[in-house]
Amino acid sequence: MIHDIIHPLQPKADPDWGTLGDVRQQMRSSYPLTAWFHLRTELFVLSAVEVASDGDGTTKGPEYHLSVSKRRGGVNPERCSADEAKWMLEQFGLDGWEEDNHVPDGKVRNFWRPVAEGLIGKECACKETEHLVVEGDFEHRPLE
């Protein structure tokens, strides 16, 4: 299976990053999923390798997926800023990403990038057909 070969991304070596390890069972995920937290910034990151499909059922194959929120005191997720998310993406070495959020008033920012380099930059079809909602520096497309 492809998920046995391609592993979720990990952050750069930094003593402030800690991990909860594989949280696939706790999160009821069929995909590889690891949880990370950064003590100084209080960012909480779920790192996965998934195969997501567009509304028409097409896929870009396996994709790296990073979900980030801020957890003050380790609980009560809050939305992190765009600058904090950008820093996190640099920490995980995820370039060529696409932010794609589908939860109104969501507390998590979701970033995707195909594993296959030739597919990087191909946007999700939802961006052409779904209504865009902007809340400050956060954009989402509500599922209707």
Beta bridge partners of 48: 33, 65
pLDDT digits (tens, 9 = 90+) for 46-103: 999 988 766 666 666 789 999 999 998 767 889 999 999 999 999 999 898 988 887 7
Structure tokens at 135: 């809340």
Return the percentage of the chain with pLDDT > 70, whole number. 78
Structure tokens at 31: 């995909």
Q: How many CB atoms within 10 Å of residue 20?
A: 12
In this predicted structure, what is the pLDDT of residue 76?
Answer: 84
Kindly indicate the confidence band of residue 124, based on its pLDDT and cuts at 50, 70 and 90: low
Which range has the top average pLDDT, 18-22, 75-79, 139-143? 18-22
CA-wise closest residue to 8 among 79, 99, 132, 24: 24
Q: Which range of residues forms the domain containing residue 94?
A: 2-140
Residues in contact with 131: Cβ distance below 8 Å, sequence separation at least 6, in sequence order: 141, 142, 144
Task: Report, in this order, helix, strand and coil percent for the chain, each rounded to 5.
Answer: 15, 35, 50
Q: Indicate the pTM of the whole model.
A: 0.82
Question: Distance between CA 7 and CA 21 in Å, rounded?
Answer: 12
Task: Please provide residue 89's backbone torsions phi and psi, each rounded to the nearest 5 degrees.
Answer: -60, -40
The strand pair at 17-22 and 33-38 is best described as: antiparallel
> Residue 109's domain is classified under what CATH number?
3.40.1720.10
Number of domains in the chain: 1
Question: Distance between CA 88 and CA 108 in Å, rounded?
Answer: 13
